[in-house]
Amino acid sequence: MGRHKRGLPVHGWVCLDKPLEMGSTQAVSRVRRLFDARKAGHAGTLDPLASGILPIALGEATKTVPFMQDARKTYRFVIEWGASTTTQDREGEVVARSDVRPDPEQVAAALTAFVGDINQVPPAFSAIKVDGARAYDLARDGQTVELKSRPVTIHQASVTAVPDLDHIEITVLTGKGVYIRSLARDLASVLGAEGHVSLLRRERVGPFGLENAVGLEFLEDLVHRGAASEGLLPITTALDDIPDLAVTDEDAFRLRQGRSIVLLPRQMEAIQARLSAGSQTVSAVQGNEPVALCSLKAGRLEPDRVFNLQT
């Protein structure tokens, strides 16, 4: 007799507008408990001192999390001039002060050097592992943490507001792995100033944005009204860049059994015209329901991840 699975078979994405002072793991746990879901995961960590978009996958949607790893992200953040901190944000201790207050034109000009493919050194207070330990744990213990620079991409960066002389707001569109605190640190250094991030908000992760985001209080209200499903986005939300192919009942059955299916020439032609450069991933669908994520190989679809939505 099989072991009873705890929780409900809830499948889909929650585009959570994460509040301040809450870690990503804590946010995932809260959402999982609200839905009483068997499985949960997230696409892209967000610091406790940052708010905004945290896509949370429930149930079979967790199988699409890897497809969010390369998603572009939009961040809006504020640099407070005058002081640099150990953590490069308002949580850390002040380590340097300066009277330099760069004007918006100087900041905008300096930002151009950070747009494109650049090398960036992550902050010491980060979750990167050093000899098996988290960098932030070593830094909190007073150890010197030296992290290697890594290639990252910033697609766009611009000054979007100047609240006062001590603060400037910047909005950036980034690839994966960009640390906004490192960007603020390096920008201040180029400008001969001291500064730290006083506000950070993530406004988009791939297809997940503020327009389809929900807060924890809203989700709690939905759950209490028995309308939790209204807070869920489809599993396929994370697959907007992956072409889909409608399959027959027979082919859907084969894919769910882990067997490949042969494509007709017209199907091959249609799929190949929609594939992104270098990708061979296709989403097989039956009606509005995803069946499997497949690899296109020699005129066949071979299932890599099968969605079990009936359990």
The pLDDT value recorded for residue 145 is 66
How many residues are given for the chain? 311
CATH number of the domain located at residue range(s) 12-71+208-237 in this protein: 3.30.2350.10
Residue 139 in this model has a pLDDT that exceeds 80 = no
- Tell me how far apart the alpha carbons of residues 210 and 208 are, in angstroms, rounded to a whole number: 7
- Tell me how far apart the alpha carbons of residues 305 and 283 are, in angstroms, rounded to a whole number: 10
- Location of each CATH 3.30.2350.10 domain in the chain: 12-71+208-237, 77-196
Q: Kindly calculate the radius of gyration of the chain based on its CA atoms and give it in whole angstroms.
A: 22
- Tell me how far apart the alpha carbons of residues 44 and 202 are, in angstroms, rounded to a whole number: 11
Which residues make beta-bridge pairs with 286? 289
Residue 235 in this model has a pLDDT that exceeds 60 = yes
The architecture in CATH of the region 242-306 reads Roll (2.30)
Give mean pLDDT, residues 86-114: 95
Residue 53 in this model has a pLDDT that exceeds 80 = yes
Residue 4 in this model has a pLDDT that exceeds 60 = no
The active-site residue, picked from 17, 36, 47, 251, is 47
Give yes or no: 164 in active site: no
Pairing of strands 281-286, 289-297: antiparallel
Model confidence pLDDT, tens digit, residues 166-213: 999 999 999 999 999 999 999 999 999 999 999 999 999 999 999 999
Model confidence pLDDT, tens digit, residues 260-270: 999 999 888 88
Residue 131 in this model has a pLDDT that exceeds 70 = no
- Location of each CATH 2.30.130.10 domain in the chain: 242-306
149 token code pair: 């620079």
CATH class held by domain 77-196: alpha beta
The number of beta carbons lying within 10 Å of the beta carbon of residue 224 is 10
- Tell me how far apart the alpha carbons of residues 82 and 43 are, in angstroms, rounded to a whole number: 34
Pairing of strands 94-97, 167-174: unpaired
